[in-house]
């Protein structure tokens, strides 16, 4: 286990948007806990730009080889922010060198990748921590406490209707930059890995034919969807099935079946610059709502609202709890630090992320799309 007397030395793979907007600034602020010592990207301009954004005591080393970063003695733990199709190979490389590894969501889209990561973790001293930051948000944790379980739940509504991320990213004050241009060889490798991932997910895991609509929906569920579906799973456990699903790439609506209640999940994109994301849990005596704002603008609070009977039951009260302004990315990094330094067991593990694949399967099999 790394020494507790110095910050954990992070090697970051994938110097794109989420690294620039969230992880590098967060690590810079958490300088007593973490320092960035190594960066990797296949794009040299992204590498140079991100290196200039790190406020580590000495400038981070840079490389285009993820293996080189993972093998380095200057790295205690690896943060994987690369494109989805590389999460497994970068995670496995980190585990091979006994490094703790944080992997952005979606951890994986198919069982093949989950199995590879699981084997690598078993023979490693490192542990995988999956980046489902909404599950580390203070309002989410407050709601878990407020509800104390699923007993008495009558109905749940999960909503995530947002405008394109670029609108928030461009107003985030972090001024990220996009760098296009990778070699033909890297592009071919990416396309091959994506094709393999989709084939494994749709054909092998789900027994469905590969179509453009299914491919698009799989990627959307893994992208925006995994935030909501993983939070739903932690709050409510796994659904028994899907009663109905209407899927389109702009808006999708799904009705989940739980043993004693139903959940509607509505999500998608329009052009109104709003981040309308919430989970609303109805019980006989109270309604608990977790409200998220865009995570790209640092410091916007997440809140829990409780609407309930008051006094003799004829009166009504509404409580809004904003227990912290600390953003979910910061909370999440604090939890990862606890896992690395104090051996705390993460809640967002490989096994946990594997359950997401079951939900994707329920949805895609229930939907009338081809
Ligand atoms: N938790 C969140 O809120 C959140 C938000 C956005 C994205 N994400 C996840 O983060 C990941 C990255 O998303 P993004 O929006 O930053 O994407 P992006 O395309 O902006 O960045 C990905 C970066 O990875 C690099 N890369 C690709 N292949 C590589 C390789 N083989 N080796 C090294 N670098 C490589 C690319 O050059 C690029 O710079 C995705 O998995 C996404 O789902 C999470």
Q: Are residues 314 and 341 in the same domain?
A: no
pLDDT 10s digits, 101-116: 999 999 999 999 999 9
**pLDDT at residue 20, as a whole number:** 98
Residues with CB under 6 A from ligand 1: 13-19, 40-43, 46, 66, 81-84, 86, 104-105, 131, 133, 223, 295
CATH of the domain at 248: 3.30.360.10
Q: For strand 8-13 and strand 34-40, is the pairing parallel, antiparallel, or unpaired? A: parallel
Closest CA to 361 of 209, 202, 219: 202
Q: Which residue has the tokens 């110095």?
A: 6
Sign of the CA dihedral with 177 first, then 178, 181, and 186 last: positive
pLDDT 10s digits, 36-65: 999 999 999 999 999 999 998 899 999 999
In angstroms, rounded to a whole number, what is the distance separating the alpha carbons of residues 61 and 13?
12
107, 33 Cβ separation under 8 angstroms: no
What's the 83 CA to ligand 1 centre distance in angstroms? 4
**pLDDT at residue 122, as a whole number:** 98
Closest CA to 235 of 103, 114, 302, 139: 139
Cβ-based neighbours of 312, under 8 Å, separated by 6 or more:
none
Q: Is the pLDDT of residue 5 over 90?
A: no
Residue 1 lies inside a defined structural domain of this protein: no
What's the 345 CA to ligand 1 centre distance in angstroms? 25
174, 297 Cβ separation under 8 angstroms: no
Q: Are residues 88 and 147 in the same domain?
A: no
pTM of the model: 0.97
What's the 295 CA to ligand 1 centre distance in angstroms? 16
Q: What are phi and psi of 248, to 5 degrees?
A: -140, 155
Q: Which residues pair with 282 in a beta bridge?
A: 155, 287
Residue 217 lies inside a defined structural domain of this protein: yes
Q: Are residues 251 and 338 in the same domain?
A: no
Closest CA to 13 of 70, 97, 71: 70
Q: Are residues 338 and 245 in the same domain?
A: no
Q: Are residues 151 and 169 in the same domain?
A: yes
Q: Are residues 39 and 115 in the same domain?
A: yes
Q: Are residues 172 and 109 in the same domain?
A: no
What's the 305 CA to ligand 1 centre distance in angstroms? 33
Q: Are residues 122 and 165 in the same domain?
A: no
pLDDT 10s digits, 108-151: 999 999 999 999 999 999 999 999 999 999 999 999 999 999 99
Atom of ligand 1 nearest to the CA of 132: 1
pLDDT band, very low/low/confident/very high, at 181 (cuts 50, 70, 90): confident
Residue 3 lies inside a defined structural domain of this protein: no
Residue 170 lies inside a defined structural domain of this protein: yes
Residue 258 lies inside a defined structural domain of this protein: yes
220, 254 Cβ separation under 8 angstroms: no
pLDDT band, very low/low/confident/very high, at 4 (cuts 50, 70, 90): low
Q: Cα angle vertex 350, ends 29, 67, to 5°?
A: 65
CATH of the domain at 106: 3.40.50.720
Atom of ligand 1 nearest to the CA of 84: 41
Q: How many domains does the chain have?
A: 2
Residue 64 lies inside a defined structural domain of this protein: yes
Q: Are residues 127 and 149 in the same domain?
A: no
Q: Are residues 230 and 290 in the same domain?
A: yes
Residue 23 lies inside a defined structural domain of this protein: yes
Q: Are residues 209 and 289 in the same domain?
A: yes
Q: Which residues pair with 100 in a beta bridge?
A: 77
Structural domain containing residue 265? 135-327+355-366
What's the 226 CA to ligand 1 centre distance in angstroms? 15
Residue 298 lies inside a defined structural domain of this protein: yes
Token digits of residue 245: 């699903």
In angstroms, rounded to a whole number, what is the distance separating the alpha carbons of residues 118 and 340?
18
Q: Are residues 321 and 337 in the same domain?
A: no
pLDDT 10s digits, 188-242: 999 999 999 999 999 999 999 999 999 999 999 999 999 999 999 999 999 999 9
């Amino acid at each position: 286990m790394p020494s507790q007397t110095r910050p954990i030395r992070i090697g970051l793979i994938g110097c794109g948007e989420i690294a620039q907007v969230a992880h590098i600034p967060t690590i810079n602020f958490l300088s007593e806990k973490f320092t960035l010592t190594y960066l990797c990207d296949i794009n040299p301009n992204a590498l140079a730009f991100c290196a200039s954004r790190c406020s580590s005591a000495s400038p981070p080393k840079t490389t285009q080889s993820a293996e080189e970063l993972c093998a380095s003695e200057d790295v205690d733990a690896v943060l994987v922010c690369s494109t989805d199709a590389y999460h497994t190979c970068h995670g496995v490389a980190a585990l091979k060198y006994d490094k703790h590894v944080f992997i952005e969501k979606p951890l994986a889209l198919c069982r093949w990748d989950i199995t590879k990561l699981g084997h690598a973790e078993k023979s490693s001293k490192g542990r995988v921590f999956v980046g489902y930051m909404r599950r580390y948000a203070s309002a989410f944790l407050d709601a878990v406490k407020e509800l104390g379980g699923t007993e008495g739940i009558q109905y749940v509504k999960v909503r995530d209707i947002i405008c394109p991320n670029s609108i928030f990213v461009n107003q985030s004050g972090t001024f990220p930059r996009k760098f296009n241009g990778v070699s033909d060889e890297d592009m071919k490798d990416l396309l091959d890995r994506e094709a393999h991932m989709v084939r494994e997910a749709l054909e092998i895991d789900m027994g469905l034919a590969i179509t453009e609509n299914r491919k698009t929906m799989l990627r959307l569920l893994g992208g925006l969807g995994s935030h909501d579906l993983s939070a739903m799973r932690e709050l409510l456990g796994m659904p028994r099935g899907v009663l109905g699903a209407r899927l389109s790439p702009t808006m999708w609506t799904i009705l989940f079946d739980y043993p004693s209640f139903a959940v509607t999940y509505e999500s998608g994109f329009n052009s109104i610059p709003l981040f309308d994301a919430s989970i609303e849990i109805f019980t006989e005596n109270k309604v608990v709502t977790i409200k998220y704002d865009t995570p790209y603008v640092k410091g916007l609070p997440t809140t829990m609202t409780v609407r309930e009977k008051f006094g003799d039951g004829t009166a009504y009260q509404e409580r809004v709890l904003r227990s912290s302004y600390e953003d979910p990315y910061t909370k999440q990094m604090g939890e990862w630090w606890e896992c690395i330094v104090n051996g705390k067991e993460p809640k967002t593990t490989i096994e946990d992320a594997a359950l997401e694949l079951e939900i994707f399967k329920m949805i895609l099999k229930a939907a009338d799309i081809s």
